[in-house]
């Protein structure tokens, strides 16, 4: 799990998008680890921190588009948690670690790849 990117993918949006990206053979970094979750709102702060403890350099939380969450408010809750998690990381000066939330639809494989590339870029910029 060392130096990997963990992506928590909502099974109603990001996971089908990641699946489609695979079918279209779109390129994603080898270090990407996808974890399927029933909703982005299922991802808690502790899950993100545990991913870092186990060696991840970045964590992505990928959920449905604003207003389209299958569980109504899961994506907005996830966004707040990601914000809180960034504050916790700042407190411990773990600047090299990144957490980000992206919203996408199940038919947007390119957006999924863009999100992964965006976080990879941030990792490279921070020199890890």
CB of 80 to other proteins, least distance (A): 10
Q: Considering only CA atoms, which of 19, 24, 95 is closest in space to residue 9?
A: 19
User: What gap in Å lies between CA 57 and CA 127, rounded to an integer?
Assistant: 11
Which position has the token pair 């053979």? 25
Q: Considering only CA atoms, which of 122, 48, 57 is closest in space to residue 81?
A: 48
Q: Which stretch binds other proteins (CB under 8 A): 24-32, 34-42, 44-52, 61-69?
A: 44-52
CB of 31 to other proteins, least distance (A): 19
Q: Which stretch binds other proteins (CB under 8 A): 15-23, 47-55, 66-74, 113-121?
A: 47-55
- In DSSP terms, 10 is beta-bridged to 37
Q: Is 88 near other proteins (CB under 8 A)?
A: yes
Q: Is 8 near other proteins (CB under 8 A)?
A: no
Contact 9, 36 (CB under 8 A): yes
Shorter beta-carbon distance to other proteins: residue 74 or 106: 74
Q: Is 92 near other proteins (CB under 8 A)?
A: yes
Shorter beta-carbon distance to other proteins: residue 66 or 95: 95
Q: Is 50 near other proteins (CB under 8 A)?
A: yes
Beta-carbon neighbour count of residue 117 at 10 Å? 13
């Amino acid at each position: 799990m060392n130096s990997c990117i963990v992506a928590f993918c909502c099974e109603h949006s990001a996971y089908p998008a990641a699946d489609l990206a695979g079918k279209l053979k779109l390129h994603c970094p080898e270090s990407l680890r996808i974890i399927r979750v029933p909703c982005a709102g299922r991802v808690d702060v502790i899950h993100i921190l545990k991913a870092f403890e186990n060696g991840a350099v970045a964590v992505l939380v990928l959920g449905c588009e604003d207003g389209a969450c299958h569980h109504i408010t899961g994506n907005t809750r996830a966004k707040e948690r990601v914000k809180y998690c960034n504050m916790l990381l700042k407190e411990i000066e773990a600047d090299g670690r990144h957490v980000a939330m992206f919203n996408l639809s199940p038919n947007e494989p390119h957006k999924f790849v863009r999100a992964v590339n965006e976080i990879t870029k941030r990792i490279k910029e921070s020199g890890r």
